[in-house]
Amino acid sequence: MTTHSLIDIANTSGSQTQSLITPGVSGTLAQSAGTGSAVGFTTATYPSTAGTSGNVLTSDGTNWNSTAPAASGGLVFIAKQTASSSARLTFTSIPVYSNYFFTFESMSPSSATVNMLIRTSTNNGSSYDATGYKSGVNYSIYNTNVYVNANTTTGFLVAPVTTGDTHCANYYIMQTQSNNYIKGFGECQLYTGVDQAFGTGGGINTDYTAVNAFQIIMSSGNISTGTVCLYGIKES
């Protein structure tokens, strides 16, 4: 009686005659040739090295290759800063994007009735622009027809905030060179000290130079609590 090892594979031809597959070359894989055909062997081709960091495996129909992922637009997370009685939050050494997006969550100031600001830097945070802005927010108080304007020239005004509750906001910074301005636009939920309010606003920095750092600061006092996330906007 003939004995076979566990690695032997039975092959059935179209006439239902069974035979053992002859071992292939070392490193090859068994591959079906379809109904009625004998099993053969093939050499699988993979990238010889891991490729560039961030690459993905892509099939070309025959082999697998290490390639860069397809380009697509969207938000790219850069960094997160969390306040705890902080004088300011800073984002330095940031990647270069034409446009940036901030999210502000559960922000609370230490002083009543102050402005929450974004300031820009062109020297990676050695200093921050505190002048040259024209920025404001118009907000409406819940369940009233009362509309209020807040404005400043000392930063991009994200929201006028006060103690007693937390505040949330989103804000875009656009480094378009139209009219040599850096532009901003945002929306906010805020607490007036009496009730909730909801607003939109925007602004410009009239002294255009490419930005490479940001500072989040209250116009007076510290940032008691809150989290700020910064994203780059990838266009393609």
**30-41 b/e with 16+ CB inside 10 Å = b?**
eeeeeeeeeeee
CA nearest to 134, candidates 168, 63, 182, 78: 182
Residue matched to tokens 């393609």: 236
Q: Could you give the CA distance from residue 38 to residue 216 in angstroms, rounded to a whole number?
A: 70
Percent of the chain predicted with pLDDT > 90: 56
Please choose, from the candidates 216, 223, 214, the residue with its C-alpha nearest in 3D space to the C-alpha of residue 95: 214
pLDDT band at 2 (very low <50, low <70, confident <90, very high): low
pLDDT band with cut points at 50, 70 and 90 for residue 17: low
Please, where in the chain does CATH 2.60.120 lie?
Answer: 74-234
User: Tokens standing for 72?
Assistant: 């697509």
Reported as a pLDDT band with limits 50, 70 and 90, residue 47 is low
Neighbours of 111 (CB within 10 A): 14
The residue-averaged pLDDT of 75-82 equals: 96
**Which pTM value belongs to this model?**
0.71
The larger pLDDT score, comparing residue 98 to residue 217, is at 217
Cα–Cα distance measured from residue 109 to residue 131, given in angstroms and rounded to the nearest whole number: 22
Give the CATH architecture of domain 74-234: Sandwich (2.60)
78 vs 17, which has greater pLDDT? 78
Would you say 120 and 182 are in contact if contact means Cβ atoms under 8 Å apart?
yes
Residues 6+ apart with CB under 8 A from 34: none
Q: Which of 62-71, 156-165, 186-195, 201-210 is the least confident region?
A: 62-71
**pLDDT exceeds cutoff 90 at 58:** no
State the chain's mean pLDDT as an integer: 85
Place of tokens 């102050």: 114
